[in-house]
Copies of this chain bind each other. A is one copy, B any other.
Amino acid sequence: MTQQKINVTIWNEYRHEKKNPVVGEIYPQGMHAAIAEGLSVQGEIKFATLDDAEHGLSEEVLNNTDVLIWWGHLAHGEVQDEIVERVYNRVLHGMGLIVLHSGHFSKIFRKLMGTSCDLKWREADEKERIWVVNPAHPIAAGIGEYIELPAEEMYGEHFDIPQPDDLVMVSWFEGGEVFRSGCCYNRGAGKVFYFRPGHETYPTYYNPQVRKVIDNAVKWAAPVGSEYPKYGHAKTPLEPIKGAK
């Protein structure tokens, strides 16, 4: 497949890497840098982090972003509501959004889902095997039957999300749980993909299959370029109305 030009912005909370030497050693340039390395899309790749002005998500940046990738964990509460609203509006107007791992609890994901997005979790260095349950979906392209991660944080059901428009992957965990790990949604003119793996203390974003999923997801989530629908008062009917006064 030839490559489309897609402008990607990778938003990273970027706190763990600076605070926790374990994380800093795995991701010396930040998780965003590792995620960026895995992208094959043509187009600009930009970074934005929590501590940037406007969290790096100015109107201009967002208007020039086709797909936004989101990783956050410690500091969801520090993301300003005004910026959340801005991202939300861009998604409804067509921008793709890829939410990774602990981003399940971000303000933007919860706002777009309309549910608590709560789940079970455990940090126990356990094995995860992410099974493809929809091989026809473009996000599953080239992944094979499953991705095996030797150690990850566990996320378990019930995951309090709306039923996905397309469920692409389901995780098996060594400790006995399952999880809907690859979930697609349409919201307005935009697309949203949630992808489970990526706890900060593991080198998950160097895994070639994990990178392939994110790269596929970016292509899938890129705006299709439809004109935004007209809403509001449609005063003039398209057809004559008999009873009209």
B174 touching A239, Cβ below 8 Å: yes
CB of B224 within 8 A of CB of A138, answer yes
Task: Give the docked Cα–Cα distance between A154 and B228 (Å).
Answer: 20
The CA-CA distance from A170 to B125 in the complex, in Å, is 23
B243 lies within 8 A of A175 (CB) = no
Of the candidates A129, A156, A173, the one having the most CB atoms from chain B within 10 angstroms of its own CB is A156
CB distance from A241 to the nearest CB of B (A): 5
B244 contacts A126, CB within 8 Å? yes
A167 proximity list for chain B (CB < 8 A): 163, 167
CB under 8 Å from chain B, chain A span 40-85: none
- The distance from the CB of A88 to the nearest CB of chain B, in whole angstroms, is 9
CB–CB B174/A237 < 8 A: yes
Say yes or no: A231 contacts B175, CB within 8 Å.
no
Residues from chain B with Cβ under 8 Å of A159 in the complex: 133
Pairwise interchain contact B226-A142, C-beta atoms closer than 8 A: yes
Let me know if A163 and B186 touch, CB within 8 A: yes
Interface size class of A (residues with CB under 8 A): 35 or more
Residues of B within 8 A of A150 (CB): 243
A134 near B122 with CB under 8 A, answer no
A128-163 interface mask toward B, CB cutoff 8 Å, 1 = contact, 0 = none? 010111111110111111000011001011111011
**Contact present for A174 and B229 (CB under 8 Å):** no
CB distance from A7 to the nearest CB of B (A): 14
Q: How far is the CB of A55 from chain B (nearest CB, A)?
A: 21
Residues of chain B within 8 A (CB-CB) of A238 are: 129, 175-177
A226 and B1 contact, CB distance less than 8 A: no
Contacts A115-B188, A143-B226: A131 and B1 contacting too (C-beta < 8 A)?
no
Complex Cα spacing A143 to B227, Å: 8
* Contact A122 B226, beta carbon cutoff 8 Å: no
Whole-angstrom distance from the CB of A146 to the nearest CB of chain B? Answer: 8
Judge whether A242 is part of the interface by a CB distance below 8 angstroms.
yes
CB-CB nearest 8 A-B residue pairs = A175-B237, A176-B238, A158-B229, A114-B114, A118-B231, A176-B239, A141-B224, A120-B234
